[in-house]
A and B are shown apart, each in its own frame.
Chain A
Amino acid sequence: MEQIDQSSLCEALEELVPAYGLGAADADERAFFEANLVHCPEVAAELAEYAAIKAALHYSTPLVSPPAGLENRLMAAVQAAPTTTTPMLPVPNKWTIRRWDVRTLLTAAAILLFIASNAFWIIRSIQGYDQYQHTEHVSSAEQAQVLAVVGSGRSKLVWLNAVNKSVPLPPSATLTCDPTGKIALLYVKNFPVTPPGKVYQLWMRHDGTPINIGTFKVDTAGTNTLIFSAPLSINTFDSAGITIEPAEGSPQPTGEAIVRGALTY
């Protein structure tokens, strides 16, 4: 019953996501969307796509030359204004966050709350890299980064598709990330629950070598959403895949890939 309710809820959000992404949703629709988005990670990934369209719309106007005298008027206004130097960049500031995109930040906050309350974001390291070792403990900044990325317009969505497509509900995964960064959001669905003593392990291939990113499990519905930090910029990896490995993970993939895909943007 709960599954049906959540399915209906997510369908409602999917109908709303285009308008929300563009900023055309009314206040009550925005409130509904933001309150329930946490239950539908797939919609969050779709939101990233509409955010990219919204970002591109800023650049969609024909380029028009400003009047010749405008620069002079600007400089005259500058000279008339009192001069005080400003602290060096970058300095985070509340106004910047508010003006950057209130709705995106609200959405990010909603997802963040969900992440914090469900702890589903944890992806565990097995290789002992320093950057992985602290992932479980100090990744709140990374969470904020990736969630900001979702709505920034710079994010890309990459699908990892099922290797075995003959099953009724083929597993799939999406990576949402700014390819120039190291932080990404992984969402998996239709993954069979792993047997005891086994976990899923995410790999990203760099120059032909599979790099361990971390291990995870899925919930009873076969889904999970995780944030991870790659050792290098995402766009330096060629492909990604997920295998089943022993609970402690493996230094190299030993099992058949469940999903995989090229990292093209």
Chain B
Amino acid sequence: MKTQPVLTQYSYRLSGLLWMYKQCIKTIKGHFRFRTNGAIVHLFCGGQLIYTDQYWVKLTSQVSISDVELMQQIAQKDQAALSGLYGRYGSLVYSLALRVLQNTQLAEEVTQDTFLDVWHHPDKWDASKGQLSSWLLTVTRYTAIDRLRKTLRRPETDLDEARTVTENDWIHDPLWQDGQLLRSLLVKLPIDQRQLIEMAFFGGMTHSELAAASNLPLGTVKTRVRMGLQKLKGLWQESTKE
């Protein structure tokens, strides 16, 4: 691994970390992250290890640039901050857009629109109402469903062939863990219930729209959605109480 000597001149205090962060996203335009392994810290930029030190004392997520700070920088039209935001949430946003649209081109357009919307209107996010990732995904889902309804293009992407990320920064995030737990529980539902639930959420369909799309009687759709969600809630409660 190549070490950049200039970075080692800086302490691992907040100022040094922020400097390295800015160097990373401004000059390399890469995704900055750090990992600790006991007393050793590794700093990565754009996937490359740029700094390591065994005298690491304590580094918690609070010294990382927070979402609020990042959004404040975006409000000041700092393009590096938007790049940093994309590095942090780009995969998450794109993944949801792709799941809804099942079309890579449309998913790219929705991802770009979502981040452009953040760039132009960062004040739409209210930190007191929830985490940035939750808000971004809510906006992404609405945007993608709107696009799905307007477009005549049909799904064309084989999701199995999409480049699934095997290792990601989200693996320790409680929200991500909850989502992945839910994904594992969904497959325990009868297929006819699961499909309707997924069509409702990812396709933005109501009971009547589900009935029309699936050629099922409305009453059958309602029963399956209700029973599926009740079962999912039971599984969810069981799993989260363990």
Chain A interface residues (CB < 8 Å from chain B): 15, 18-19, 21-27, 29, 49-50, 52-67, 70-71, 73-75, 77-79, 81, 83-93, 95-96, 99-101, 148, 152-154
B207-242 contacts to A (CB < 8 Å) = 207-208, 210, 222, 225-226, 229-230, 232-233, 236-237
- A25, A57, A84, A92 — most chain B CB neighbours (10 Å): A57
Known: A70-B108, A77-B112. A21 touches B229 (CB 8 A): yes
Are A86 and B135 in contact (CB-based, < 8 A)? Answer: no
The answer on a CB contact under 8 Å between B164 and A64 is yes
In the complex, the chain A residue whose C-beta lies closest to that of B77 is A83
Supposing A75-B83, A85-B77, A100-B138 touch, asked if A22 and B129 sit within 8 A by C-beta, the answer is no
Report B-chain residues with C-beta under 8 Å of the C-beta of A77.
112, 116
A-contact bits for B75-102, CB 8 A (1 contact / 0 none) = 1110100110011001110111011000
Report how far A18 CA is from B124 CA in the complex, Å.
Answer: 29
A153 contacts B77, C-beta separation under 8 Å: no
Question: In the complex, A90 Cα to B130 Cα: how many Å?
Answer: 12
Shortest distance between the CB of B219 and any CB in chain A (Å):
12
Complex Cα spacing A75 to B176, Å? 27
Cβ B207 vs Cβ A25 within 8 A? yes
Expressed in whole angstroms, the Cα–Cα distance for A145 and B82 within the complex equals 30
In Å, the complex CA distance between A258 and B201 comes to: 41
Whether the Cβ atoms of B123 and A91 lie closer than 8 Å is yes
Q: How far is the CA of A67 from the CA of B107 in the complex (A)?
A: 10
Q: B96: shortest Cβ distance to chain A, in Å?
A: 5
Given pairs A22-B197, A65-B163, A71-B90, 14 additional interface contacts (CB within 8 A):
A18-B233, A56-B179, A57-B182, A58-B96, A61-B96, A63-B92, A64-B163, A70-B112, A78-B116, A85-B77, A89-B71, A90-B126, A93-B123, A93-B124
- B142 to A90, Cβ gap below 8 A? no
B152 at the binding interface (Cβ < 8 Å) = no
Contact B137–A58 (Cβ < 8 Å): yes
Closest CB in chain B relative to A262 CB, distance in Å: 12
Across the interface, do A74 and B125 meet the contact criterion of CB distance under 8 Å? no
How far does the alpha carbon of A209 sit from the alpha carbon of B86 in the complex, in Å? Answer: 46
Q: Does B189 contact A (CB under 8 A)?
A: no
Q: Which residues of B contact A93 (CB under 8 A)?
A: 123-124
Taking CB atoms, residues of chain A closer than 8 Å to B237 are 49
Q: Could you tell me if B229 and A63 are in contact, using CB atoms closer than 8 angstroms? A: no
Q: Judging by beta carbons under 8 Å apart, are B168 and A148 in contact? A: no
Q: Which residues of B contact A18 (CB under 8 A)?
A: 225-226, 229-230, 233
